[in-house]
């Protein structure tokens, strides 16, 4: 993995991925006690940064390989990203999804032209299921995070952050990134290390699912004790990846974690102050920026809001309980 | 009014206003039966396009005039735009607001450093109140729409639409714009007439408050029978302006109007499909694009979502009733 791969991915994404805005509000600055900038990746096509990685990986395949089709396993956002990228390239897509994924994500993936195969998150092994399907049908497996071209695509988010921060005169800040397997976090960290070395990435996770923070603290890959029971389902993964963890370990500051109450309050603040819709897993970094100000340093913080595919009922709950 | 004034405003706004993205979703295309592009001006600073006009007007004042302060009357979004622009220029701001404006808008305006003067919408004359305050304190009145520098600022939205549509290869489309007094609509119409003549503006209003549509149809300024009772309060004004109406009349296609149910459904679709928050008045154009497809022509439509300052309870209602 190097900056050249991220820049090559940026060229393939040009004109296809949205350059998402860096938003701000004096009201958020006041809550946090410092300048808060929000990279609104929830506005990306398919509603999350996963479109970048999906497009990067699909577009990097040899045409004759791509024409046979791709397969991905995902709790939802990677699924939509790969499905939309595959359709745009005229390639069939099979998506292996947990049966308890939000209904809207399953429906959206099907509507984007993909074949959806469901499995039980508690008892099934999605890696094994994906590998078997790939072999049977000659599909290329596109992993959700531990895959260089996916990391390169997510890293294009970091290239944009570097440019947008420079345009605002921000050359020193912590960059908070919602972290599951670490594809987005490691991609951004690689891009910033090369293009904006004063911007330091810190991964953010939900409390109780802080495998990355513990892995960084201990210097080796740690696993989550459980994989369900969080409203931040989109970023709950067993552990950081074999490719992503060494990058995170080399380039990132310590991990942060936030409570579900903080996540809901951040979602409400995003609605009322920035006018964006952020899903729970995508809101953990903003929650840390707003409600954990003493756990970071500096005059400015940049929080990535990584996805917006929230069940309307959960967003309504956030608004009613925390949006006053 | 001419394109030169809009381009001059764009230079004054450079680095201060956000270049808002043009969003899309295959799910919205499917509802509308054509390509739908959404100019997400709800992401603008202070949550609406009004920041552009406020900044344009305040920045155009002579420094010694500006230092004495500005005054504006507004149901909320113009207030916030002027307040934030004035504060950034170090100028005092007095805002005359109806006492029934959404609480969040009154609070936000105060938090942005402005002095808020409330009046009764049914019995008070905001023009007279504003004029008296302006004379007493030597303030410069910044009208919400019938003011050339305000129209020029709003017109910068049209310059961006022209560039963004061209980048997507869209050179023929109807551009639907939420229309109150016509500042945004006339500004966009002037910009597009000069920079993208294949894009035709059509104003959109709530049913029962369609003064602009009736004025365009009749060839003279018509008034609304009532000014309260719409959830789209931000775009309910007595009539189009003396400056805006001739521009609308010369450059726009026929007006459209939409029901409150259509507005709520458009707000829910904006949340679930675009991940943006749109207030009722700001959602009328998207509502028309989605739910009145037979009242427009062409393969593509561009809808401006002009503001996002919605009471959380109203958004929650839209999500619960229409977001399924």
Of A21, A25, A312, the CB nearest to B271: A312
| Residues of B with Cβ-Cβ distance to A309 under 8 angstroms | 275
CA dist B268 and B262 (Å) reads: 10
Taking an 8 Å cut-off on Cβ atoms, the answer to whether B274 and A112 are in contact is no
| Residues of B with Cβ-Cβ distance to A47 under 8 angstroms | 275
What per-residue confidence (pLDDT) applies to B121?
81
List pLDDT tens digits, range A269-290: 999 999 999 999 999 999 999 9
Taking an 8 Å cut-off on Cβ atoms, the answer to whether A112 and B320 are in contact is no
What per-residue confidence (pLDDT) applies to B320?
86
Taking an 8 Å cut-off on Cβ atoms, the answer to whether A319 and B315 are in contact is yes
CA dist A2 and A175 (Å) reads: 19
Taking a C-beta distance cutoff of 8 angstroms, is the pair B286, B266 a contact?
yes
B37 Cβ neighbours under 8 A, 6+ residues apart = B22, B23, B24, B164, B165, B168, B170, B173, B300, B301, B302, B303
Interface test with A, best of B19, B275, B311 (most A CBs within 10 A): B275
Taking an 8 Å cut-off on Cβ atoms, the answer to whether B271 and A278 are in contact is no
What percent of chain B lies above the pLDDT cut of 70? 99
CA dist B245 and B250 (Å) reads: 8
Task: Kindly list the structural domains of chain A, giving each domain's residue range(s) and its CATH number in brackets, ordered by start.
Answer: 3-49+148-322 (3.40.50.1100), 50-141 (3.40.50.1100)
Give chain A's contact residues with B (Cβ, < 8 Å): 15, 18-21, 23-27, 30, 40, 42-43, 45, 47, 84, 104, 108, 111-112, 167, 268, 271-272, 274-278, 308-309, 312-313, 315-316, 319-320, 323-324
Query: What helix, strand, coil percent values describe chain B, rounded to 5?
Result: 50, 15, 35
In this prediction, residues B134-158 reach a mean pLDDT of 95
Taking an 8 Å cut-off on Cβ atoms, the answer to whether A23 and B43 are in contact is yes
The larger pLDDT score, comparing residue B76 to residue A115, is at: A115
Taking an 8 Å cut-off on Cβ atoms, the answer to whether A275 and B272 are in contact is no
What per-residue confidence (pLDDT) applies to B177?
98
What per-residue confidence (pLDDT) applies to B251?
98
Taking an 8 Å cut-off on Cβ atoms, the answer to whether B275 and A308 are in contact is yes
List pLDDT tens digits, range A26-54: 999 999 999 999 999 999 999 999 999 99
The answer to which of A172-186, A223-237, B203-217 has the lowest mean pLDDT is: A223-237
- State whether the Cα torsion B230-B231-B233-B234 is positive or negative: negative
Taking an 8 Å cut-off on Cβ atoms, the answer to whether B275 and A276 are in contact is yes
Of B30, B108, B308, the CB nearest to A275: B308
- Res B131 pLDDT > 90: no
Phi-psi domain of B76 (left: phi exceeds 0; alpha: psi -120 through 50; beta: other): left
Taking an 8 Å cut-off on Cβ atoms, the answer to whether B43 and A47 are in contact is no
What per-residue confidence (pLDDT) applies to B323?
66
Q: How confident is the model at residue B101 (pLDDT cuts 50, 70, 90)?
A: confident
Query: From the CA atom positions of chain B, what is the Rg in Å?
Result: 18
Q: How high is the ipTM of this complex? A: 0.95
In this prediction, residues A2-8 reach a mean pLDDT of 97
What per-residue confidence (pLDDT) applies to B324?
52
Look at strands B199-206 and B173-178 and give their pairing.
parallel
List pLDDT tens digits, range B225-244: 988 889 998 888 889 999 99
Q: Which residues of B49-68 are buried (b: 16+ CB within 10 A; e: fewer)?
A: bbbbbbbbbbbbbeeeebee
> Which residue on chain A is closest to B319 by alpha carbon?
A312
Q: What is the pTM of this model?
A: 0.95
**DSSP state string for B15-76:** TTS----EE--HHHHHHHTSEEEEEEGGGSGGGBTHHHHHHHHHHHS-HHHHHH-EEEE-SS
Taking an 8 Å cut-off on Cβ atoms, the answer to whether B26 and A308 are in contact is no
Tokens of A261: 């109450």
Taking an 8 Å cut-off on Cβ atoms, the answer to whether B277 and A277 are in contact is yes
Taking an 8 Å cut-off on Cβ atoms, the answer to whether A312 and B47 are in contact is no
Taking a C-beta distance cutoff of 8 angstroms, is the pair B36, B289 a contact?
yes
> Which residue on chain A is closest to B30 by alpha carbon?
A111
What per-residue confidence (pLDDT) applies to B86?
98
What per-residue confidence (pLDDT) applies to B127?
82
What percent of chain A lies above the pLDDT cut of 90? 82
Q: Tokens 């939802």 — which residue?
A: A76
List pLDDT tens digits, range B254-303: 999 999 999 999 999 999 999 999 999 999 999 999 999 999 999 999 99
List pLDDT tens digits, range A67-108: 999 999 886 899 999 999 999 999 999 999 888 877 777 888
- Res A324 pLDDT > 60: no
- Res B98 pLDDT > 80: yes
Tokens of A141: 């497996």
> Which residue on chain A is closest to B107 by alpha carbon?
A27
What per-residue confidence (pLDDT) applies to B65?
96
Taking a C-beta distance cutoff of 8 angstroms, is the pair B109, B97 a contact?
yes
CA dist A205 and A182 (Å) reads: 11
For chains A and B, CB pairs below 8 A equal 95
> Which residue on chain B is closest to A42 by alpha carbon?
B275
> How far does CA A157 lie from the centroid of its chain?
10
Of A15, A27, A277, the CB nearest to B276: A277
In this prediction, residues B187-213 reach a mean pLDDT of 97
- Res A323 pLDDT > 80: no
Taking an 8 Å cut-off on Cβ atoms, the answer to whether B23 and A42 are in contact is no
List pLDDT tens digits, range B38-86: 999 999 999 999 999 999 999 999 999 999 999 998 868 999 999 999 9
| Residues of A with Cβ-Cβ distance to B26 under 8 angstroms | 84, 111-112
How confident is the prediction for chain B on average, in pLDDT?
94
> Which residue on chain B is closest to A311 by alpha carbon?
B272
Rounded to a whole number of angstroms, the distance from the CA of A43 to the nearest CA of chain B is: 6
The larger pLDDT score, comparing residue B323 to residue B182, is at: B182
Rounded to a whole number of angstroms, the distance from the CA of B321 to the nearest CA of chain A is: 10
Taking an 8 Å cut-off on Cβ atoms, the answer to whether A268 and B319 are in contact is no
How confident is the prediction for chain A on average, in pLDDT?
94
What per-residue confidence (pLDDT) applies to A108?
86
CA dist A21 and A39 (Å) reads: 6
What per-residue confidence (pLDDT) applies to B129?
86
Of A23, A108, A320, the CB nearest to B316: A320
Taking an 8 Å cut-off on Cβ atoms, the answer to whether A21 and B42 are in contact is no
Residue B114 carries which DSSP code? P
Q: How confident is the model at residue B322 (pLDDT cuts 50, 70, 90)?
A: confident
Of A45, A312, A323, the CB nearest to B323: A312
């Amino acid at each position: 993995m190097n900056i050249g791969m991220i820049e090559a991915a940026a060229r393939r994404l040009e004109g296809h991925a949205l350059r998402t805005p860096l938003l701000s509000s004096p009201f958020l600055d006041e809550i946090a006690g410092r300048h808060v900038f929000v990279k609104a990746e929830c506005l990306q096509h398919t509603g999350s940064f996963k479109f970048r990685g999906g497009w990067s990986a699909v577009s990097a395949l040899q045409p004759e390989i791509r024409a046979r089709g791709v397969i991905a396993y995902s709790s939802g956002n990677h699924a939509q990203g790969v499905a939309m990228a595959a359709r745009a390239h005229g390639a069939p897509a099979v998506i292996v999804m947990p049966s308890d994924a939000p209904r809207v994500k399953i429906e959206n993936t099907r509507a984007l032209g993909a074949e959806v195969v469901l499995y039980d998150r508690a008892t099934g092994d999605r890696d094994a299921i994906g590998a078997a399907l790939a072999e049977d049908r000659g599909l290329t497996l596109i992993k959700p995070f531990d895959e260089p071209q996916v990391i390169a695509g997510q890293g294009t988010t970091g290239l944009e952050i570097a440019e947008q921060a420079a345009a605002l005169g921000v050359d020193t800040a912590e960059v908070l990134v919602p972290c599951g397997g670490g594809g987005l976090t490691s991609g951004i960290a690689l891009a910033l290390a090369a293009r904006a070395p004063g911007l330091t990435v810190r991964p953010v996770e939900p409390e109780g699912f802080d495998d990355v923070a513990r892995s960084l603290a201990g210097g080796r890959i740690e696993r989550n004790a459980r994989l369900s029971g969080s409203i931040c389902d989109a970023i709950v993964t067993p552990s950081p990846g074999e490719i992503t963890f060494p990058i995170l370990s080399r380039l990132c500051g310590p991990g942060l974690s936030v409570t579900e109450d903080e996540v809901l309050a951040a979602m409400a603040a995003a609605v009322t102050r920035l006018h964006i819709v952020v899903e729970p897993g995508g809101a953990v970094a903003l929650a840390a920026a707003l409600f954990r100000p003493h756990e970071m340093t500096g005059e400015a913080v940049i929080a990535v809001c990584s996805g917006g595919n929230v069940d309307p009922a959960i967003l309504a709950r956030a608004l009613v309980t925390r949006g006053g």
